[in-house]
A and B are shown apart, each in its own frame.
Chain A
Amino acid sequence: MTTEIQPLSPVSAPVRPSAAGAQQPQARQRPKSPSRVRLRAFGKHLILIVSALAMIYPLLWMIASSLRPNDLIFREPGLLLSTFEASNYSEGWNALASPFSTYLLNSAVVVLGCILGNLVSCSMAAYAFARLNFKGKKWLFGAMLLTIMLPFHVVIVPQYILFSQIGWVNTFWPIIVPKLLATDAFFVFLMVQFIRGIPKDLDEAARIDGAGHPRIFLQVILPLMVPALATTTIFTFIWTWNDFFSQLIYLTDPKMFTVPVALRAFVDATASTSWGSLFAMSIVSLLPVFIAFLLGQKFLVKGIATTGIK
C-alpha cells in the first residue's frame, strides 16, 4: 500500500517513518470511537433530511392545499388537513371549456407521437452513423453534433411560418413531425454511443448468414439497444409533457390545448380566485411525470448496475 502511494507524495515520503509523520494520520483516526462516528453520521443525515424536506416542501404543500378550501390556502402554511375538500379536483376538472380529460388526452397523443418519432428516426440515423460507411459521414456527423447545441429560438420563427402555411397550426403535427425527422439530435448521439458498444462480431455473423442492413438493424441491433431506447422514451415523455413554448405558439384553439397550455389558460382565466382547483389540476399535470420518474429511477439503478459504475 505504502509503496503504491509513495509516487504521489514524494515530499512527505521520507518523513513518514519519523514520529510526526507516522502518528499524525493515526492520531486523526484513533479518537473516532464508534459512537462519535455514529453521531457524525446522524448529524449528516439530519442536515440532509432537513434540506431534502425543504426542497420538496412546496410540492407537499401544493398537494395539501389542493385538498383545502380556497380561503385556507392563504392562511395555512402547514401540511395537516383539518378538512378534506376533494371538490377542488372536480371543479378544476370542469373549470375550462372542455373537461380536463380533453387536455390530458391531447398531451398523451402528442407525447406518444413524439416518442414513436424519436424511437424510429433516431435509431435509424444512429445505426447509419455507428455502423455504415458512406461519403461525407464525417461532415454529417459533425453537423448532427452541432445541432445538439443549437438554441430552439433560432429556428422557431421560420418553422412557425412554414407550418402555418401548410395549415398545421392547431394540429399536433408541428410538434410531432420534427421528432419523426430526428431533430432531437442528442438522442441520435446517445444511440450512436450505445451501438458502438455492441460487438461488431454480431453484425458480421448475421451478414455471413446473408442478412442485409435492414435485417441486421431490426433483428440484431434493435433488440440489443433496448436500454438506450428506454432512456429515450423516458426523456421524450417528460420533456414533451413539460414542453410549453412550442405548444403555446402552435395550439391556440382551446379544443387542441395540451395540459401546459390549458393550465396557462386556467391561470389567466381565474387569476387568484380559485387556487385550490388550480393546484388540483397542477397536481394532475405533474402526476404522469412523477410516475415516469419512479419508473426511471428503477431503470437508473439497473443502468448503473449493468454498466459497472458504482
Chain B
Amino acid sequence: MRKRHESKQIQGAGLRLFPTRTTCPGACRVSALSELGKLRGKGLGAEARDTKAAMVFLGPWLVGLVAITLGPMLISLYLSFTDYNLLQAPELVGFENFTRMLEDSRLQNSLAVTFIYVLVGVPLQLAVALLIAIVLDKGIRGLPFYRSVFYLPSLLGGSVAVAILWKQIFGTTGLVNQFLALIGIEGPGWISDPSTALSTIILLHIWTFGSPMIIFLAGLRQIPIMYYEAAQVDGATKVSQFFQITLPLLSPIIFFNLVLQIVGAFQSFTQAFIVSGGTGGPSDSTMFFTLYLYQKGFGQFDMGYASAMAWVLLLIIGAFTAINFYASKFWVFYDD
C-alpha cells in the first residue's frame, strides 16, 4: 500500500513536468479524479488549528470560487429560465428557452456538427497519438527530436494563426489543391464545400495529437519491460504482445485521455470560428455548438438562450463523462 502510493507520487511528479497543452492538466486531471475518490470518508480529525492562516492563504481562491465560478454558475442557471438582452432586466419565462431549442433546427444542426467532430476527431486523434507513441517508445535514437516535432503542432494548433493557415491550405487555390494540381487533379474548395468543411477542422484536431502522445509515452514507460521479455521467451508475437500487454496496461491512460479530449473537444471554438469567418458556414456545416452559443449570446445578446445552451453543454459533457466512466468498467484494466 505504502509502496503503491509512492509510485503514484513519482508518476505524478513526472507527468507534471511535461510542458504540454493537456499533459500537465491532463495528468493533473487524471490524478484529480483519483484524488476525488480518495476523499471519501477520510476525516481530518480534531486538528482544525490553522483555520486563520488557511483563510488568508485560501482567500483569493475562495473569492474566485464564489465570485468567478459558483456565483456565475448559479446566475447562468437562473438566466437560462429568463429572457435577457443585457439592456432590460431579466424576465422569467420558465422553460421557454429549452422548448425553443426543440424547435431550433440550427441548434440541432450545431449539436450534430459538434457530435460528429467529437466522435470522429477524438478517437482518430488518440489512435494516431498511440501509434506514434508506441513507435517512439522502443528506445529509438533521436527521440527528443521526434517528440518535439510531433508535439509542436499541439501547442500551436489552438491559435488563430494556425486556423488562418488552415483556411489557406484547404482553400480553392490552397496548398492541398496545389499539390493535387501537380498530379493533375483539380481539388474541390475544401472549406467552401459544406460536405468537406467539417473534415478539414477534424483534420486540424487530429494534427494536434502531440499532447495525448506525450501522456501515452509517459504511460508506456510505466510498463515493466519484464513483461515483454517474458512474453518473448514464450514466443509471443509483437502483435499479441501489443494486445495482451501494452493495451491492457495502458488502458487507464487511454481512458483518461479519452475523457479529457472529449471534454476539450466539446468546447472547441477558435478553429471553426476562424476557418468559417465567424459564420459557421458554409451552410452551417462548421457551426459548432460553442460557435452558435457565441452568436446567440454575444452577437444577438440573447443571454437567456445562451445561458440555457451553456447548461445543455454542461449536461452533455457531464453525460459523456459519466458514460465513459461507466463503460470503462468493461475495458479499462487496473493493475492493482
Which residues of chain A have a CB within 8 Å of any CB of chain B?
1-2, 4-5, 8-9, 12, 16, 21, 24-25, 28, 41, 44-45, 47-48, 51-52, 55-56, 58-59, 61-62, 73-77, 120-122, 124-125, 127-129, 132-135, 137-138, 140-162, 164, 177-178, 180-183, 186, 188-190, 193-194, 196-197, 212-214, 217, 227-228, 231, 234-235, 238-239, 241-242, 244-245, 249, 259-260, 263-264, 267-268, 272, 275, 278-279, 282-283, 285-286, 289-290, 293, 296-297, 299-304, 307-310
Known: A148-B32, A239-B21, A264-B274. A282 touches B61 (CB 8 A): no
Contact partner, B19, options A62, A244, A296, Cβ 8 Å: A296
With A128-B54, A158-B76 known to touch, is A193 a contact of B13 (CB < 8 Å)? yes
Q: Which residue of A lies closest to B55 (CB)?
A: A134
A-B contact count (CB 8 A): 352
B161 and A124 contact, CB distance less than 8 A: no
Chain A: which residue is nearest B167 at the CB level?
A267
Residues of B within 8 Å of A260, CB to CB, are: 159-161, 270
CB closest residue in chain B, given A47? B135
Nearest 10 pairs of A and B residues by beta carbon = A303-B17, A181-B64, A296-B19, A282-B161, A309-B14, A158-B72, A128-B57, A5-B230, A134-B54, A125-B61
Q: Is B10 engaged at the interface, CB distance under 8 Å to the other chain?
A: yes
- Is there contact, CB below 8 Å, between A217 and B57? yes
Asked if B50 lies at the interface with its beta carbon under 8 angstroms from chain A, I say: yes
In the complex, chain B residues whose CB is within 8 Å of the CB of A44: 135, 140
Return the contact of B161 from the options A21, A48, A141, A285 (Cβ within 8 A): A285
| CA gap between A124 and B55 in the complex, in Å | 10
Point out the residues of chain B lying under 8 angstroms from A61, CB to CB: 175
For window 49-72 of B, CB contacts with A under 8 Å fall at 49-51, 53-65, 67-69, 71-72
* Chain B residue at minimal CB-CB distance from A122: B61
Q: Are B65 and A143 in contact (CB under 8 A)?
A: yes
B311 & A181 in contact (Cβ 8 Å cutoff): no
| Contact of B229 with A by CB under 8 A | yes
B160 touches A264 (CB 8 A): yes
Does B24 touch A at the CB level, under 8 Å? yes
Please tell me which one of the listed residues A162, A213, A289, A304 contacts residue B14 in the complex, with CB atoms under 8 A apart.
A304
Q: Which of A58, A146, A217 has the largest number of chain B CB atoms within 10 A?
A: A58
* Interface pair B149/A55, CB less than 8 Å apart: yes
Question: Which residues of A have CB within 8 Å of B141?
Answer: 41, 45
Cβ contact within 8 Å between A275 and B146: no
Stretch binding the partner chain, chosen from B106-114, B231-239, B246-254, B325-333: B231-239
- Choose among A146, A157, A212, A227 the residue that contacts B17 (Cβ–Cβ < 8 A): A227
> Are B60's CB and A9's CB within 8 A?
no
Q: Are A194 and B19 in contact (CB under 8 A)?
A: no
Q: Which residue of B lies closest to A132 (CB)?
A: B50
B313 touches which of A47, A154, A290, A293 (Cβ 8 Å): A154
A231 adjacent to B19 (CB under 8 Å): yes
Q: Which of A147, A196, A242, A272 has the most CB of B within 10 A?
A: A242
* Chain B residues packing against A (C-beta within 8 Å): 9-14, 16-19, 21, 24-25, 28-29, 31-33, 35-36, 39, 42-45, 47-51, 53-65, 67-69, 71-73, 75-76, 79, 86, 132, 135-136, 140-142, 144, 146, 148-150, 152-153, 155-156, 158-162, 164-169, 171, 173-175, 178-179, 182, 207, 218, 221, 226-227, 229-235, 263, 266-267, 269-270, 273-274, 277-278, 290, 293-294, 297-298, 303, 306-307, 309-311, 313-314, 317, 321
For the complex with contacts A286-B159, A307-B17, 5 further pairs of A-B residues with Cβ separation under 8 Å are A25-B234, A52-B150, A125-B58, A144-B61, A231-B24
* Minimum CB–CB distance for B168 against chain A, Å: 6
Task: List, in ascending order, chain A residues with CB within 8 A of B149's CB.
Answer: 52, 55-56
Specify the main secondary structure of chain A where it touches its partner: helix
Nearest to B27 among chain A residues (CB) is A190
Interface of B is mostly: helix
A55-B149, A153-B310, A181-B60 are contacts. A307–B13 as well, Cβ < 8 Å?
Answer: yes
On chain A, the residues within 8 Å of B235 by CB distance are 12, 21, 24-25, 28
Q: Which residue of B lies closest to A74 (CB)?
A: B173
Could you say which residues of chain B place their CB within 8 Å of the CB of A59? 152-153, 156, 165
The minimal Cβ–Cβ distance linking A203 to chain B, given in whole angstroms, is: 12
**Contacting pair B28 A189 (CB below 8 A):** yes
In the complex the two chains form, what is the Cα distance from A239 to B264 in whole Å? 14
Q: Could you say which of A137, A214, A272, A289 contacts B156, with CB atoms under 8 Å apart?
A: A289
A-B contact pairs, 29 of them (CB 8 A): A8-B230, A9-B231, A21-B235, A24-B235, A44-B135, A76-B178, A125-B60, A127-B57, A133-B48, A135-B44, A147-B65, A148-B25, A150-B73, A160-B297, A178-B68, A180-B64, A189-B28, A193-B13, A213-B53, A228-B16, A231-B17, A231-B24, A242-B156, A244-B159, A249-B298, A264-B273, A279-B165, A285-B159, A293-B19
Question: Is A196 in contact with B159, judged by CB distance below 8 angstroms?
Answer: no
B307–A157 touching, CB < 8 Å? yes
